């Protein structure tokens, strides 16, 4: 992926001074500071061919010069020049990086921070940035976790990069080398924990053998400062604990979870915490016993408190047997309704994990309004790195621009600036906890995720979790250079393609906020607009012969628009102010409704957008082919194959969707285009 440490081209590697030795202070072999020393060695060797010695203490007598010294504030001690101002500016996991010619100082607030600082320094070098710098970098939020939907048999729910790398046959595998390498990759972008099993959790994760296996897995992650967490099945007290109930207020159930938690911490002393999906898509939960979701979350949070663990509680709670004949039924309403009255009722170590939009990782969704309703509760945003509805790694879709539309959205809570990113980092409501969860689904495929270009999304996820104010463009350029090199043509070509990819995908799939229009019944892949109605899942378009779109207004529809704070609600409620890209999310309109920005009718926009999307996709293979010789042939060929496929699939999409709505609406494309003929 991006940790190649490829040699710099000569033109870039001249005229600079580099350290002559590496000092990783007080490091034992399993510590992140030790890993930092190893990483610096690997990086300087790869990029510059410099094979430096790594030692673990400062030379006695005079302070080192021409060295890179990495350690924690504590290890540097008072004497060696870490100023009080630096030490006090550092937050947990943060670091200080100072490059002064060939003397480099990296100070972590903790061991993990020191490692992050080393990765940051190496990233600068790999991008040929040799400037002197001196800065503090702190993470925006403490929760920067991936979620991996691994089943214990080794399969993954939504598996696009091969089977999982740590479970097989019901157990944790013996060889955890690759798990350790994955931790290295995650740590290099600041991710600090991994939920290792599927949210649709198997209670057998809690058997003695699996607890031992989890202990080994945590050992594999630990040198990179990555903690392990697990997803739990709410009904475990009954299914594996021999109890007759899983009622969260039952003393026996409380004791069960206390015992399980204490036992787990014996195996994994630094367990990050738990993730719980309750009362969603058939999963058990507290509602079975008429208890609240807060009762359910607190059940796990309390025993975790003794150990410093965090309970991530998912907001993805909804009824999947909705009846479309009810005009007011709306799955999008579910989260705010289910959490109504619960703000402030959660323990301090609970974080409510909210998908970015109210439905399910669609190509375009408005920000989940639940973020505006949790001012006395910690919140995290859930993003999906795995491209479940977005081409499943067979299509190039760079997701950071989509995520940024949500992170940078201003919910105007109480009429004040309330960016989603400031809510999830805890800033807006002064919450102690919060952050980012990214569903990654890493697998055995050599690219980790299933395609070379998809790793841009994992990179961007980690970097945005560290600092969500960064731009999608800036992060992309970093990733391109680190992953493919410095060539200017390559840099601009690949970046441009990636930046066009999400709008393009939206163009040839589902436009104007109608969702992805993919098959939602089985595969979540390929066009199937018919599946988006008459299903219990509540992912509807309400397309008929006359019109299309969900009426989510307060005045005439499901009322969803009214879940936003007043300024935002008013914008979505009115046809005069709703943004075109969300028109059909909020309004049911005739196919002949005109868009505010272009004046096109809705149906003509569908036709035009699908042609435009497919036309852009058709340019990708040739644009990539212009990079021949600038990328090694393995990656060149693999990416080219995917892009040729994508261009073809975009035509399939275009024709399927256009034909479907031409039939529904009986309105012809005014430009007379009919399919591929
Ligand atoms: C989607 C996905 C499921 C997953 C669910 C969730 O619906 O298709 O596989 O379990 O989201 O996030 O819980």
Residue 1 has pLDDT above 50, yes or no: yes
What residues have CB less than 8 Å from 536, skipping those under 6 apart?
320, 321, 322, 323
CA distance 412 to 432: 21
State in Å: Cα 382 to ligand 1 middle: 12
State in Å: Cα 360 to ligand 1 middle: 8
Per-domain boundaries in the chain: 10-137, 143-484, 529-550+588-665
365 a catalytic residue: no
Residue 667 has pLDDT above 50, yes or no: yes
Residue 81 has pLDDT above 80, yes or no: no
Reported confidence tier of residue 53, pLDDT bands at 50, 70, 90:
very high
Confidence (pLDDT) at 358: 97
For the residues 470-499, what does the mean pLDDT come to? 98
Question: How do residues 300-332 score in pLDDT, each as one tens digit?
Answer: 999 999 999 999 999 999 988 999 999 999 999
281 a catalytic residue: yes
Instruction: Quickly count helices (H) and strands (E) in the chain.
Output: 20, 18
State in Å: Cα 276 to ligand 1 middle: 13
Q: What is the CATH number of domain 529-550+588-665?
A: 3.90.1330.10
State in Å: Cα 279 to ligand 1 middle: 13
**132, 259, 262, 281: the active-site residue:** 281
Q: What is the best residue among 198, 281, 390 to mutate for testing ligand 1's pocket, by most ligand atoms within 8 Å of CB?
A: 281
Q: What is the best residue among 232, 354, 355, 360 to mutate for testing ligand 1's pocket, by most ligand atoms within 8 Å of CB?
A: 360
Confidence (pLDDT) at 29: 85
Number of C-beta neighbours around residue 174 at 10 A? 8
- On the 0-12 / 13-18 / 19+ scale of CB atoms within 10 A, 239 is middle
State in Å: Cα 221 to ligand 1 middle: 26
Ligand 1 atom closest to the CA of 158, numbered from 1: 9
Question: Who lines ligand 1 at CB under 6 A?
Answer: 157-158, 199-200, 277, 316, 360
CATH 3.40.30.10 fits 10-137, yes or no: no
For the residues 258-280, what does the mean pLDDT come to? 98
Cα 268 to Cα 85, 214, 444, distances in angstroms: 35, 7, 24
The fold of 143-484 is: TIM Barrel (3.20.20)
Number of C-beta neighbours around residue 324 at 10 A? 13
Average per-residue pLDDT in the chain? 96
Ligand 1 atom 10, closest CA: 200
Question: How do residues 172-226 score in pLDDT, each as one tens digit?
Answer: 999 999 999 999 999 999 999 999 999 999 999 999 999 999 999 999 999 999 9
What residues have CB less than 8 Å from 16, skipping those under 6 apart?
130
668 a catalytic residue: no
Complex ipTM > 0.90: yes
What backbone phi and psi angles, to 5 degrees, belong to 243?
A: -90, 160
Residue 677 has pLDDT above 60, yes or no: no
Ligand 1 atom 13, closest CA: 199
Ligand 1 atom 1, closest CA: 360
State in Å: Cα 532 to ligand 1 middle: 16
**247, 330, 360, 478: the active-site residue:** 360
Q: Which two tokens stand for residue 593?
A: 């409704």
């Amino acid at each position: 992926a991006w940790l190649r440490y490829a040699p710099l081209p000569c033109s870039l590697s001249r005229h600079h001074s580099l350290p002559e030795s590496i000092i990783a202070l007080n490091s034992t072999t399993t510590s992140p500071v030790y890993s930092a020393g190893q990483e610096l060695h690997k990086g300087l060797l790869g990029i510059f061919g410099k094979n430096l010695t790594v030692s673990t203490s400062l030379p006695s007598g005079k302070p080192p010069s021409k060295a890179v010294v990495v350690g924690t504030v504590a290890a540097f001690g008072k004497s060696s020049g870490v100023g009080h101002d630096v030490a006090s500016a550092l937050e947990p996991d943060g670091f200080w990086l100072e490059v002064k010619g060939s003397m480099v100082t990296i100070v972590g607030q903790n061991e993990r921070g020191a490692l992050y600082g080393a990765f940051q320094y190496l990233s600068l070098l790999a991008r040929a940035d040799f400037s002197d710098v001196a800065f503090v970098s702190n993470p925006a939020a403490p929760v920067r976790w991936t979620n991996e939907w691994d089943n214990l048999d080794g399969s993954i729910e939504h598996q696009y990069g091969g089977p999982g790398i740590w479970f097989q046959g019901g157990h944790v595998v013996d060889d955890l080398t690759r798990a350790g390498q994955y931790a290295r990759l995650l740590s290099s972008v600041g991710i600090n924990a991994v939920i290792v099993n599927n949210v649709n959790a198997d209670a057998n994760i809690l058997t003695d053998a699996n607890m031992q296996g989890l202990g080994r897995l945590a050992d594999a992650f630990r040198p990179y400062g990555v903690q392990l967490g697990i997803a739990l099945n709410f009904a475990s007290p009954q299914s594996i604990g021999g109890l007759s109930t899983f009622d969260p207020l039952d003393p026996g159930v409380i004791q069960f979870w206390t015992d399980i938690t204490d036992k787990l911490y014996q195996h994994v002393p630094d367990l990050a915490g738990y993730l719980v999906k309750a009362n969603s898509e058939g999963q058990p939960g507290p509602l079975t016993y008429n208890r609240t979701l807060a009762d359910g979350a607190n059940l796990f949070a309390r025993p975790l408190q003794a150990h410093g663990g965090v309970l991530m509680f998912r907001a993805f709670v909804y009824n999947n047997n909705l009846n479309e004949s009810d005009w007011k039924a709306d799955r999008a309403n579910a989260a705010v309704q289910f959490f109504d009255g619960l703000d402030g009722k959660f323990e301090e170590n609970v974080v409510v994990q909210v998908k970015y939009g109210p439905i399910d990782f669609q190509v375009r969704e408005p920000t989940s309004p639940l973020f505006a309703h949790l001012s006395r509760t910690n919140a995290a945003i859930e993003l999906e790195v795995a491209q479940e509805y977005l081409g499943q790694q067979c299509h190039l879709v760079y997701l950071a621009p989509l995520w940024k539309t949500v992170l940078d959205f201003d919910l105007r809570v109480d009429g004040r600036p309330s960016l989603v990113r400031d809510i999830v980092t805890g800033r807006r409501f002064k919450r102690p906890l919060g952050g980012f969860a990214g569903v990654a689904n890493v697998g055995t495929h050599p690219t980790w995720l299933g395609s070379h270009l998809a790793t841009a999304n994992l990179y961007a996820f980690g970097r945005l979790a560290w600092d969500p104010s960064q731009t999608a463009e800036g992060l992309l350029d970093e990733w391109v250079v680190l992953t493919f090199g410095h060539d200017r043509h390559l840099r601009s070509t690949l970046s441009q393609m990636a930046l066009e990819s999400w709008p393009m995908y939206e163009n040839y799939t589902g436009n104007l906020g109608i969702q992805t229009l993919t098959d939602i019944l089985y595969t979540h892949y390929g066009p199937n607009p018919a599946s988006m109605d008459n299903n219990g899942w509540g992912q509807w378009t309400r397309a008929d012969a006359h019109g299309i779109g969900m009426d989510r207004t307060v005045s005439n529809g499901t009322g969803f628009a009214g879940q936003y704070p007043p300024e935002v609600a008013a914008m979505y409620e009115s046809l005069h102010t709703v943004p075109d890209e969300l028109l059909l999310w909020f309004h049911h309109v005739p196919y002949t409704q005109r868009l505010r920005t272009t004046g096109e009718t809705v149906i003509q926009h569908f036709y035009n957008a699908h042609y435009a999307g497919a036309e852009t996709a058709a340019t990708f293979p040739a644009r990539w082919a212009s990079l021949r010789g600038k990328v090694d042939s393995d990656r060149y060929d693999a990416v080219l194959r995917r892009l040729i496929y994508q261009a073809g699939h975009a035509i399939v999409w275009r024709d399927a969707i256009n034909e479907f709505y031409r039939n529904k609406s009986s309105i012809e494309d005014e430009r007379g285009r009919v399919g591929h003929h």
